[in-house]
Each structure stands twice: as structure tokens, then as C-alpha cells.
Chain A
Amino acid sequence: MKLAVWTYEGPPHVGAMRVATGMQGLHLVLHAPQGDTYADLLFTMIERRGHRPPVSYTTFQARDLGADTAGLFKSACQDAYDRFKPEALLVAASCTAELIQDDPGGLAETMGLPVPVIPLELPSYQRKENFGCDEAFLQIARALAQPMARSEQVSCNILGPTGLGFRHRDDITEIAALLREMGITVNMTAPMGARPSDIARMGAAHFNVLLYPETAESAARWAEKTLGQPFTKTIPIGSRATRAFIEEVRALSGSTAPVDDSRLRQPWWAASVDSTYLTGKRVFIYGDGTHAMAAARVARDEMGFEVAGLGCYNREQARPLRALAREMGVEALVTDDYLEVEAAIEAAAPEMILGTQMERHIGKRLGIPCAVISAPVHVQDFPARYSPQMGFEGANVLFDTWVHPLVMGLEEHLLAMFRDDFEFHDAAGPSHHGGHAPQAVHQDAAQPAEPAPAATAAAAEGGSMPPEAAPPSPVTPATNNVIWLACAEKELKKIPFFVRGKARRNTEAFASQQGLSEISVDTLYEAKAHYAR
């Protein structure tokens, strides 16, 4: 047993629902108790879908347990087939139905339905949502796709996008356009948008483009082995990775068509002088493995940030993430314990977080700006506008999204210049932070901010946030028993607030390195010289 307050991933059957909901002409019959239907609202509210997910639930209750839950499952299958006439039927059990061992796959097979029935084994007490996506898509491919003649023109499949995916909708538009520009036909995109009959034509493609290893790596590996289709390993997030992806696709396809990168602004935006202030900003990065690793590379190599922490919640990606963290000189954080992530961020005291919606809330409590880079998704992650993460436009979007929470360069310069001005002082905070700026209130440890009434907030943009709580008190006793002398403390306050935390940390680190027990004004400036770059 493990106590969880908030979770990054749902159970595996929710992953199967994401695959089914992304597809067309497919129906999932889920053996599940009453109440598991809550999962529908993820799709209808967060993603604003105008259709119910194509999922029928048996919704058994206690009185059914002593009777015939297997019969209930069979009638739910028959009703679902009669009403929705899908091209194929997925059948699975949720956590409770797994315990009653009715064997949905075996039951459905005996029914002689005139469409393929694809049973899923989803071990709810071991695995999680991403596994559910990956496994469901693998089983669909195995059941429906066969080796077949390749298309005459060079073509590929795009694998991985699902319902409730972080920016999947726009990523596939961007990458499909890029592939078209390279003269490559997209044979099929799946799961999102595909019908079972499309999956059957999977083998016609010359290779696969794997965009989200979390949801489709098993299917890509299966297709490599069974259908002889190689797949791309580069995730095209950031301008460098997009160029590497183009090279990888050229190698797989023989395409020599030039790619127009004239709309890629991110490298120049990062190089222009206004961005100088981004240099060495310490960022803490956390998300699903794929997005976290991509963000770390972009942060270091394309934005000039310093990666102060790197982590992911899905163990499946732990190995490559640990390797990258080592390369970047930080310790990898592989955990799905929200409180552990919060503690790690607090300890690292970054100037910015690139995380999920959950880290955005951590950032609000700690007074650290945050940009969202990964699932789990929130209604805010489905903007009305086109907003991919991948490809050249994705690189532009990353620049804007990551810089937005920070004070702009020129504005930062002015803040420093006018920091003693009566209406432009530290406590006023940068204007566009508005109510988001840290406030000098003390968080009551016994009464942490509580959820606002609920589902009203399911769709309310940011409406569910807890009241603003303060970051740790702006003037705290030094760690390691180093004492700040009053004059040094006073001098520290003259330093602009947005670099003050860094100055404090560096000075304390310097003092303990030097074996000092007190910090004087001199220590402060010696430390400044020591860390000067």
C-alpha cells in the first residue's frame, strides 16, 4: 500500500480509453463497477469533446456480484455492438473487475460477434495510464495489421497521438506538414483519427514516425519486427531536435527535398539581446520522460538555461532520463510522489520550473514561475489556437511559452534601475505577474490551501487553484548554521529580488565552503566575485 494524495497517471484502463477515444469506429466495453464512468468527464470537460467517449461500462453493483456479472458483461457487449456498430471491439476490465476474474476476453470471444474482438490485459495493481495506452495500441495493431506490399510512393505512419494527449492535436498537424514537404505521404496516423480499417493498412508504410514513446513504443517495436518497418528515434521538440529528426527521416526515406525553415524564429529570438537575461537561469524540469528530456535539451542548448533538476514520473523512461541527468550534472528524480517532487523543487530553489500542471501549483506556492511542458493535462492545455510543441512552429511556441512567465529582459533592466522608486519597489513585483506574484502572507502549516469546490473548476481555467500562498519567508536563517549579520542582510536586500535568492544561496554555499560561521558584507561580495562568470 502506498499513500497517494495526487497522481500523475490514472489507472491503465484510462490509457485504453485514451486510445479508444482517439480512434474512430472502435468501441471499448469495460467491465467496471458503477462510478468508473467518471473517466468520461476527462474527455468531455478537459478536452471539450462534443461526443461521449466510445466506451460502455457494465457498471455492476454489489447485488450483481452474487448473481451473474459475466452475463452482465455479455449483454453490455451485445448492446454496444447493436447500438454503435463498431468495426472492432476492445474489451477490458478495470481494477475491480480484474479482481472478480470474469475474463472479458474469453466471454466476448464466445459471443460470435461479426467484428474483431480485441481483449486487453491491464494489470491495474502494477501498471498505470501510459502502460494502458501503449498496451491497448499494441494489441490493436497486432490484431488488425498484417504484413503487406509497401505503397509505391514513400510513406510513413505517425504513431502515438491519443485522446487527452499533451498538444497531440497540433503536433501531428505540424509533423504531417513537415513530412509532406519532404515528399513523404502519411499512410496513417494512429491511434488519433484512425479507424480499425486504417490500422489494417499499417503495413503499407515504409517506416514509422514515433512521436510519443509513452503511448506507442511497443507498437512501433512490434511493427519493426513483424512488418519490417524501422521507426524514428528522435522526438522533434526544439529546433535542433527537429533538424535531427529531418535528417533521420531523410536517411529512412531517401528524401532530398529541401525544408523551408523561414518561419523558425526561435533561434534568433534566443540569440537577440533581449534574451541575454535568460543566460544561466536555473530551471527545474519534470514531466513524462519524453517531454522532460526534450525540454532539458532545449533548455540547455537552445535557451541557455542551466538545468538545476531533471525528473520524470514514468519509470519506463527512467534509464535514458538518468543518463541525460548525469550528462547534465544533476541527480535524476524518478518518482510519482507529488510531495517528493515538491520537496525536490524547494531544495533546488530554481528560478523557473518547466513541469506539469501539478508543478505549476507547486510554483505558485513557492513563488517560482512555471511553464507547462507535459501531461497530465488540464483544460488549459487545450488552447483554442494552434499551439504545437513539435517541429519548427513547436520551437517558436516553446520560446514564447517558457519566456512568458519570466520578467522580460528590458523590463528586468528597468526594474533594477528603478528598484528604489516608490512605486516600482521590490514588493510591487513585475506588473504582469499581477495576482500571481508572491505575497507576504504566511501559509498556515496546519491549514494548507484547500481545493475549491470542485468540478465547477473542471472546466474553469485556473479556477481551481488554491489561494495564493507565500514562498518560504523571504529572509530565512542561513542553512548550515551560518549567520547573516544585520549589515549583510541589509545589503542583500539592495539586490534586486529576482536575483536575491541566487545571491543568498551562493553566499551561503561560499561561506560554508570557506568554513565561515558569519556572513558579512565582505563575504557577500567575495562570494559574488567567486561565482562571477
Chain B
Amino acid sequence: MSTGCRNAPVLKERGQREVFCGLTGIIWLHRKMQDAFFLVVGSRTCAHLLQSAAGVMIFAEPRFGTAIMEEKDLAGMADANAELDREVARLLARRPDIRQLFLVGSCPSEVIKLDLAKAAERLSVAHAPHVRVLNYSGSGIETTFTEGEDACLASMVPVLPQTEAKELLLVGALPDVVEDQALDLLARIGVSPVRCLPARRTDDLPAVGPNTRFALAQPFLGETAAALTRRGAQRIDAPYPFGAEGSTLWLKAVAAEFGIAPEVVDQVTAAPRARAEKAVAAAAETLRGKRIFFMPDSQLEIPLARFLTRECGMQAVEIGTPYLHADIHGAELDLIAPGPVLSEGQDVDKQLDRVRAARPDLTVCGLGLANPLESEGLATKWAIELVFTPVHFYEQAGDLAALFARPLRRRAALSGLAPHLEAAE
């Protein structure tokens, strides 16, 4: 069997990176963990980013906020720690439903070396046992977009209780509906017990130990995997559960670890797999033979390229990713036929030059680049939708393919608009 792209040369670039920072993960993490609050210790920029990434204007009182540092916090006129303690006390008094508080470091808090780990310890003592306080960095200087989730989950691992039980740990924040589907499939295959990280509520946090086997549901959780490994847990290596093929391979790898034959998986998954294949086939009508270019964004690029090339008949021109981890992306790279350029990191202007030269049928990119490329006549898919939409496992495989087909179908539907779509100046 060929090793696909595993040994293909990688174009490494260092220049301007048009990516979100790790704080963005708070947008989905706070919805997943329903009794957690995410307090960013940062600047007005951090607050503005969260507001903008969260859909620009949604105004309830959310379970996240920013403690905005002011001049006096920097100049040492006020003790930043005392200020932080006061804000946390006020926040927790107002929100008695909060059981878990994350202090999230930002670029400015890192640069002034505000010790949030120490602050979290201090505040944990002050607010125990009702509230546990943890910390991680979501700063742009430390983390790129989905690495924020990785840093958050990794911060939880050291405080998880110890267990000797042989359990499967499903790692990665999935929408509840998808998580329920995965748990149901695993139960029917006979994998049990299964725990999730993150848990929906603090009381349901999993335990971990040398007999824990864990499977990543997301391809960007390298630090979390390392932290779990340090606790003695063992990772089950597999492609990620995108598309019918990815879902099946992922489930089979898990089943094998629990001594269950692949035939059992085939039998349990026959019906959902057939549904997924049928749904994917409908979108593949639009996608087959089309050329796709991935700008680096969420680290989902490699598994998605595998799904789109193998199950939807697309051709990958370039697969860009912020980071390429041979370890956690290896099983995916094995499946991708040689040909596409693999790139890691970014120099955005140079990469856009490559997009313009290649003129792909579809470019997967961030929101800052989508309309500018559309106005040049290049169809795009906003990458961020891929982390906010349920896309894992069989029942979502058709939706995942449709996310890529829709921009192409829309373009075709509007192609009669003469003379051509003029973008706003």
C-alpha cells in the first residue's frame, strides 16, 4: 500500500499569517461546557475579536467576558492580581451557576508576564469547593485558532481524577447532537464505558489513568494528547471521523483496541454508512473533478482534503495547514494521493499569488479573504463554518460535503447575472 502524502515535501512558510488566535475557541467551548465561564485577561482588542468572531453582534449575557487591562494595570499603580481577584469575585457572585472558571491568557497578559497559573491556584483556593479555576493561553503569540481548544483541554488533564479502569475517552468538543450519535454507535459496537473530554458539566468530568484509551475527534489536539499520555493514557491512532470512510476507519480502530472485530463495526454501521454514502453522492455531483485550494486555518485541512478527494472526487491543488503534526496527521496523509502541494505556516500575499495563478474552483479560507477572492471571480468556502457546524460522523457527512458544494451551486445559479458580480469598493 502506498504511503500517500506522508513523505511528501512540505512547503514551510513564515510571513504574515491571516489566522485567528486561540481565543476564538471560546465561542464554541463555552457552549459545550455549560457551567464554565471563560474570562480572558487581555485588552480591548481581545474583547473586540470575541465579539466579531461570535457573529459580530449577539447580545445576551454570555458565559465569557474580557477583563480589560488598563494603563494602571500595566504601570504597576494597581496590583493587577488584586484587580483580577476583585473582578473574579464579582463575576462569581453574579453567576452562581458557574462551576468552572478558565482564566484565559492573551497576548498582552503574556507579554507583561502576568502569572495566570498562580492566579488560578490562588482563586481556586478562594472559591473552592464550588468553583474550580484553571488557566490556559489563547494568545495569538502562543496559539493559532483551534489550538485554543487544545490548550483549554490540556489544562484540564492534570486535574482529572485518577482511574485504573479500561475506558475509552472521546477527546474534542463536539456538538451535543454529534457526540450523542458517536456514543450511540460506540455502545452498539460494544465499546464501553465511554467518557468525554470536555464533559458538558463539571460533575461529569472523566477520570484518566494507565488503562485509559483515548481517540481524538479533532485533528488539532496535540497538546491534549501529550498531556493524556503523560497521565499514562494511550492514544488510538486513526483517521478522523469525517465522511463515511473516516467514520468507519475511526470506529474500527477504536473497536480493535477493545478487542472487537471489524465485522461487528461493519454490521452496526451498515445503515448509517449507506445513508452517508448516499448523501455524499448527491453533493459529489457538484464537486467531482473540481479543484480545491486550502488556506491554512483550523488544522482540519488535511482530513477534509482526504474526505473531499477520496469521497467527493475533488482534486486538491494545495493543502495549507497552520501546523503539520506527522504524529496526529499521519494516518490521514497516508490516505491522500500524492500530487497536491502541502504547505505549513503562511505568507499570505505569496499564498494568494499561488491561488490566483492556480485559479482553483474552490478556495477554503478565512472571512477576511473570502469576499476579496469572490470579487476576483474565485469561489470560496469560509473555513470557520467548519468548526461551528456539526460535520463529524455518518449523519453529518452529507452536510459536510454540501458545505463545499453550496458555493459552487450558488455561483452557477447566479451566473446569469450580467455582466458580472461587482463587489463593493
Contacts and interface: CB of A to CB of B under 8 A. Distances in A.
Interface in A464-523: 464-466
A152 interface: no
A50 B424 contact: yes
A454 B111 contact: no
Contacts of B15: 79
- Size bracket, chain B contacts: 35 or more
A243 to B, nearest CB: 32
Contact of A125 (B74, B90, B107): B74
Contact of B423 (A48, A124, A466): A48
B399 to A, nearest CB: 13
Interface stretch (A1-9, A199-207, A409-417): A1-9
Contacts, number: 269
A83 B21 CA distance: 26
B70 A126 contact: yes
Nearest to B175: A453
A57 B349 CA distance: 11
B385 interface: yes
Contact of A100 (B48, B111, B144): B111
B44 to A, nearest CB: 4
Contacts of B371: 44-45, 48-50
Interface in B53-98: 53-71, 73-74, 80, 83-84, 86-87, 90-91, 97
Contacts of B66: 3-5
Interface string A155-171: 00000000000000000
A34 B61 contact: no
A50 B369 contact: no
A112 interface: no
Contacts of A448: 60-62
Contacts of A48: 371, 423-424
A357 interface: yes
B18 interface: yes
B65 A5 contact: yes
B383 to A, nearest CB: 10
B59 A36 contact: no
A36 B140 contact: yes
B351 interface: no
Contacts of A465: 58
Nearest to B48: A10
B232 interface: no
A61 B27 contact: no
B65 A99 contact: no
Contacts of A266: none
Contact of B425 (A36, A42, A49, A453): A49
Given A37-B19, A44-B369, A455 B388 contact: yes
10 contacts: A2-B70, A50-B422, A62-B110, A95-B43, A96-B108, A100-B111, A361-B59, A453-B388, A454-B384, A463-B55
Given A45-B56, A451-B31, A466-B58, 4 more contacts: A1-B69, A11-B44, A37-B17, A50-B375
